[in-house]
Every structure is written in structure tokens, then in C-alpha cells.
Amino acid sequence: MSTVNRGTTPEVLISEVGPRDGLQSISRTMPTEAKLAWIDALAQAGLKEIEVGSFVPARLMPQMADVAEVVRHSTARHPGITVMALVPNVRGAEAALAAGARKLTVPVSASEAHSMANVRKTREQMLEEVRQMAALCRCQPTHVPLEVGVSTAFGCTLQGAVPEDDVIRLADALAHAGVDEVGLSDTTGMANPAQVRRLFTRLRRALGERAGAAHLHNTRGLGLANCLAAYEAGVRTFDASQGGLGGCPYAPGASGNVVTEDLVFMFEAMGVRTGVDLEPLLVARAVLAAGLPGESLYGMTPEAGLPLGFTYADGRRPSPA
């Protein structure tokens, strides 16, 4: 299937996490056929990295029971896209690699309390898991990047404040464990722009090119402001979820990832190229809505539409309706 051809290199990468983070955060299970249609539509909009699922036991997360099939479909249908899967442990990594995932992402919590609730392992135990996963990825015939998102980097609903020094020490340990990228996640939606700017500045100073994505939530309405602060600190990869689906089952009240449609609009309106077109992205939103009838979707841009005279960062105007 072809995707949007923008002709210019994107300045930021929007990593779509809705098919994983979004779908695992709701009680309903999206039919496999609908899920595949949604991923196809996201690819058609120009998204170049899509987190398509989690390799976790189906008895714990039935929404992800079809993840291997989803990975196989996505890699076969979209050879130019980074098909990413979340893996909580070595067993999950082995299954993801066997299915053909092109990138793995691992959540490692900066909060000990959240780590025990989320994966039932201490931070030190997770570091050992990450070392083994990094070795596994290096053994593949074609290198599969391993990314870690430091969960609860900006605060934890179970522990409370998370010291910034703890976050940076953990990120440095993960880099030494062999991962390709270490990003920061506002798992509980507690971050503010000053904090985001400060912590990502420290992360980039500590890790250089290994400093990775910003995974920010909109729990208290600061999602876009926090993304802008991260951008100003030098971040160029941003996780987002179509319709704002997502959250964390072990972070009460912390639902709602940054809305992909709003994030793309913000950057393009600023003159920052994303490589994503809003018109087919809104078509993908309709595919999502059809696959989950009645599910609440969020976002200001889909409601308001594009403003009169809007142009993309590369100078193009939206296609006529």
C-alpha cells in the first residue's frame, strides 16, 4: 500500500502508539480486521513509525491477543514503516522478533512502586531483562533497534514525586545496558513544561544521540505545551495516539495520550515538517471510530477543522474536500 509522498524530509518523527497504548487502555477489544484496517489507514496518512501492539499474555490483556498476526500483516503490507512492538521481558522480545517486529520498546519505571505494579519486577531486575533483550537484538540477522521508555519520569500516582537525579541515573544505566534509545514517559500525566524542558535537557546532555522520544499525556491539558517544551529542548521524536486513546492501567486517572491530529497540526502550523497529512489522518480517525463504535475520541483539530489559509510546513495547501 502506498503512503503519502511529501517529497521532503520530516523534521520530527510522530510515533503513533494508538494501536498499542490506546487499545490496551480501554476495556473493549477491537476486532482484528478493524485493527488492521486502522493501521493501514494510519500508514496511508504518512506515519512512519507505528506501535502496533504488546507481546504480553492474552489472559492478562485480551486486547493484544492477536499481536503476532497484527505485526505480520503490518510488516508485509508496509515495508517502509517501522513496525514497533512493546515487550515487557525477554520472552516477549523473543515472540516479537519471531513475528517480525522491526523495533522493540520496553517500559522501565523510574518509580519502584510503579515498576512492581506494572511488571512485578524491581528496577534492577528490569535492567537485567534489558541487558538480555539488547543482546538478543544484536544477534538478529538485521539489527532491530531496542528503545526504552522511562515510565513515571515526571511523577508517579503511587510513589509521588520521582527525583530527577534518579531518572537520569536510570537512563544512563539503560544506555550502558546496550539500548539504542532512551526516552522519557509522562505515564501519569503529572508533567509541566518547565519540568519537561529541564529533564529532557539533562537527558540529552547525559546520553547525546541515545536520548529518545517524548511520550507525554494530556491528563491535565498540558500535552501539547509539554511537547513544545520537549521540542525546544531538542527532542525530535514524539509519541502520540489517534483520538487521544491511551493511558496506564496502573496509574489511576492518567488516561489520554497526546492527540496525534492535534500534534501534527501544531507542528505543521509552526512550519515544522512531520511527514503526515491531516486529511488522510482524519480518514484514519473515521476508520478507528468505525472499529470501536461509541468509544470516546478526543482532539480539538478534528472538531474545529483546519483554519482558512492553512498551509503545511512544506508550503502545500490541503487537498480540496
Torsion sign (Cα): 77, 79, 85, 90: positive
Q: Is residue 73 part of a domain?
A: yes
User: Containing domain of residue 23, as a range?
Assistant: 13-304
Mean per-residue pLDDT, 111-128: 84
Mean per-residue pLDDT, 32-37: 98
CATH number, domain of 74, equals: 3.20.20.70
Work out the number of other CB atoms within 10 angstroms of the CB of residue 305: 12
Domain count, the chain: 1
Q: Is residue 286 part of a domain?
A: yes
Q: Which residue has the cell 498540558?
A: 222
Q: Is residue 124 part of a domain?
A: yes
Q: Is residue 311 part of a domain?
A: no
pLDDT beyond 50 at 12: yes
pTM score, two decimals? 0.94
C-alpha grid cell, residue 280: 488522510
Catalytic residues: 248
Q: What is the pLDDT of residue 303?
A: 95
Q: Which pLDDT tens digit goes with each residue over 251-281? A: 555 458 999 999 999 999 999 999 999 999 9
Q: Is residue 268 part of a domain?
A: yes
Q: Is residue 180 part of a domain?
A: yes
Q: What is the DSSP string of 225-250?
A: HHHHHHHHTT--EEEEBGGG----TT
Query: Which pairs with CB-CB distance under 8 Å and at least 24 residues apart come from 136-141?
Result: 136/90, 136/93, 136/94, 136/97, 137/93, 137/97, 137/104, 138/178, 140/97
Q: What is the pLDDT of residue 249?
A: 55
C-alpha to C-alpha distance for 123 and 115, rounded to whole angstroms: 7
Q: Is residue 317 part of a domain?
A: no
What pLDDT band is residue 41 in, cutting at 50, 70 and 90? Answer: very high
Q: Is residue 53 part of a domain?
A: yes
